[in-house]
Amino acid sequence: MKPSLKVLPFSKDKIYGGYVDGVVIEDIFNEVVGDLLITDVTIPLAIPAVDIKSGKVVVFVSHPHLFKGDPDWVVVSDISLAKAVRASCSFPMVIGAMELDDMLLVDGGVKMNLPSQLINSYGAHKVAGITMTSEGDFEAYDSLIALGNRIYDMMIESYDRLLEDQIDLLINVPIGHIYVFEFGKGKDVIIEGFKQSSKYLSQIEAFKEQSLLDKIIKR
């Protein structure tokens, strides 16, 4: 099955960098979790986005006093959780960029698809990461959308591999048969993710135990 754009809620309003107004994401998120600020989150949280104007990484953080990140990053904590999630979900050319002050924010994966640096910036003892690298050969040569997705994936995968040595537990969920523009496949991705993660249960438990032990020793 080839990707289809029919399920997208296209916007007639003027938006930048995409066809779908990201406010839809905000509304859905608020319905599920309520109108929360990112600082209402009790555990350290960092959500990346990218300002397409300056090219800088923008990080939304729940505990700014604990976050020791790159001085070139723009750190924001005075924002709703829904807006932070929306910005980080604004996939270029699909979801419109989110305006914040003088910035236009898009998906953080553009520059930080495997954001281990953010976890390290909170002083984490152990880091776990999830990738979605295809393990099969690409065969959808007749689809321009699929081909564009394949090129994007290869660039992201190359960058991810540079960061893998910073990850203590890396779980890969191969979904090469589902393209990034193949809308309406979210449930399939979740099911595949659950299936793949189940294979790592023993490693996840060992990771949790080692993380706790390291934390106790450091204290």
pLDDT digits (tens, 9 = 90+) for 134-166: 666 666 666 666 666 667 677 777 767 777 777
In a domain, 12, yes or no: no
Q: Which of 74, 82, 71, 80 is nearest to 53 (CA)?
A: 74
Q: Which two tokens stand for residue 212?
A: 């706790």
Query: How many domains, the chain?
Result: 1
In a domain, 16, yes or no: no
In a domain, 130, yes or no: yes
Q: Which of 199, 111, 91, 99 is nearest to 162 (CA)?
A: 111
Question: Domain range holding 145?
Answer: 22-218
DSSP tag of 166:
G
Q: Which of 170, 172, 215 is nearest to 192 (CA)?
A: 172
In a domain, 69, yes or no: yes
In a domain, 97, yes or no: yes
pTM of the model: 0.78
* Helix or strand (DSSP H, E) at 216: helix 201-218
In a domain, 72, yes or no: yes
Residue in the block written with tokens 């203590």: 168
Grade residue 13 by pLDDT with cuts at 50, 70 and 90.
low
pLDDT at 80 over 90: yes
| Helical axes 201-218 vs 186-198, angle rounded to 10° | 70
pLDDT digits (tens, 9 = 90+) for 96-131: 899 999 999 999 988 888 888 999 999 988 888 888
In a domain, 7, yes or no: no
In a domain, 198, yes or no: yes
Angle subtended at Cα 162 by Cα 48 and Cα 201, rounded to the nearest 5 degrees: 75
Residue in the block written with tokens 């709703």: 80
Q: Give pLDDT, residue 47.
A: 97
